[in-house]
Amino acid sequence: MRVLILGVDGYIGWPLALRLIQRGHEVYGADSFFTRRRVREVGSDSLIPIKSMQERIEHLKKRFSSTVNFFRGDVSNASFIYRLVEEIRPDAVVHLAEQRSAPYSMIDLKHATVTMEKNIISTLSLIYAAKDIRPDMHILKLGTMGEYGTPNVEIPEGFFEVEYRGRKDVLPFPRNASSWYHWSKVHDSNNLMFANRVWGLSVTDVMQGVVYGTRTADIQDRSEFTRFDIDEVWGTALNRFCAQAVGGLPITPYGKGGQTRGFLSLEDSITCLTIGLEKPPERGEYRVLNQFDQYYSINELALTVREVYAKEFGGNAEIMHVDNPRVEKEEHFYKPVSEKLRKMGYSPSGDLKHDLKTILTDVERYRQRVDKLKKVIMPRTQWK
């Protein structure tokens, strides 16, 4: 299959490229290096050093006889997207190329605007390029479980049957996001759903939980490492907790720590995306997949990091709750459904404690870089 990965230089895009090349797909990739630049903008860097795209391409040529055919550019630029689709004529496009940090989007109006513009316009441009040039290609778009928020009822996969004043219908499940970033993903989902309805585009909209991990089965040496962010803007809670444990800092859940979210390992994320590509939707179908393995509260994550770090590395990390910079429920019901991927043949391999041992080993290896980045871990970006 000829696959174009938008955001191929990113945390998920790069290991996905490795997996698809190994499986014999023809892989094309695009990136503007937005994340590399924006992480530096907040005084941070990937904790795990990553190679330049040129080095990555050369490395793949040596390890496999195939590599990523790379195009540098901004996918919110319509003429760039049109050129890619025209030249490559992909069977499928995986769209990962978005600003993906909730705190970054909450810094101020400028950052909220960049998030909205880049994210919504990139998806809209891709939709139009598909309609005008290749209407039968499959768009696999990464949304987020965060689009749904934390309702006090079960979260279905995209749609639910509702009865109101004696009448029934199947409707999109309400989205209730908690940052400008998450709202930008909601707007993307609405736009994809509408494009499917009016033009019959084939879309998989993946509502993905928080991805953790430093490795997949394909990442064998340092040339293949993917980025791993630990700062308050770009690093997710589990990444920050691991860095705090290794750096001798307290592990800091925000607020009461009862916030619960769906999580999945990087390995499982790549497996799911590969299944989604290799088992595409029917022509003209809009399908929503909820993708996570387990849900954990932030307190459970903090305790598990502390436990694994103590058992495997003899460390003694303290847990210290800090004021929550975000506006969110700190104790709530959470029960999302994730059935469709399992029906498509997926079974999760992630095991948090086992995976944490690998993550902490990789973070330990770059302990000196943890020391350098310590100053950017504690929260500064306020929602209020």
Ligand X SMILES: NC(=O)c1ccc[n+]([C@@H]2O[C@H](COP(=O)([O-])OP(=O)(O)OC[C@H]3O[C@@H](n4cnc5c(N)ncnc54)[C@H](O)[C@@H]3O)[C@@H](O)[C@H]2O)c1
| Alpha carbons within 13 A on the beta-carbon side of 336 | 29
Query: How distant, in Å, are the alpha carbons of 144, 293, 336 from that of 262?
Result: 10, 7, 8
Residues that bind ligand X (CB under 6 A): 7, 9-13, 31-35, 74-76, 96-100, 118, 122, 142, 144, 208, 210-211, 227, 236
Are 28 and 3 spatial neighbours (Cβ–Cβ below 8 Å)? yes
What three-state secondary structure class fits 366? coil
Would you say 312 or 349 has its CB closer to ligand X? 349
CB neighbour list of residue 55: distance below 8 Å, 6 or more residues apart: 223
Residue from 11, 28, 181, 286 carrying the catalytic annotation: 181
Q: How far is the CB of 149 from ligand X (least distance, A)?
A: 14
Annotated catalytic, 82? no
Would you say 17 or 302 has its CB closer to ligand X? 17
Q: Determine the residue with CB nearest ligand X.
A: 10
Annotated catalytic, 254? no
* Cross-strand bridge partners of residue 170: 161
Would you say 136 or 351 has its CB closer to ligand X? 351
**Which tokens belong to 60?**
């793949």
Work out whether strand 138-144 and strand 202-208 pair parallel, antiparallel, or are unpaired: parallel
Q: How far is the CB of 234 from ligand X (least distance, A)?
A: 8
For 2-47, what is the HEC assignment? EEEEECCCCCCHHHHHHHHHHCCCEEEEEECCHHHHHHHHCCCCCC
Query: How distant, in Å, are the alpha carbons of 54, 180, 240 from that of 146?
Result: 34, 11, 19
Q: How far is the CB of 230 from ligand X (least distance, A)?
A: 13
Taking the C-alpha atoms of residue 274 and residue 92, their distance in angstroms, rounded to an integer, is: 11
Would you say 51 or 321 has its CB closer to ligand X? 51
Would you say 100 or 175 has its CB closer to ligand X? 100
Residue from 104, 123, 185, 260 carrying the catalytic annotation: 185
Angle at 187 between CA 181 and CA 189, to 5 degrees: 110
Annotated catalytic, 185? yes
Taking the C-alpha atoms of residue 210 and residue 237, their distance in angstroms, rounded to an integer, is: 9
User: Which stretches of 238-317 are assigned E, i.e. beta strand?
Assistant: 260-265, 286-291, 294-297
Would you say 115 or 252 has its CB closer to ligand X? 115
| Residues recognised as catalytic | 144, 181, 185
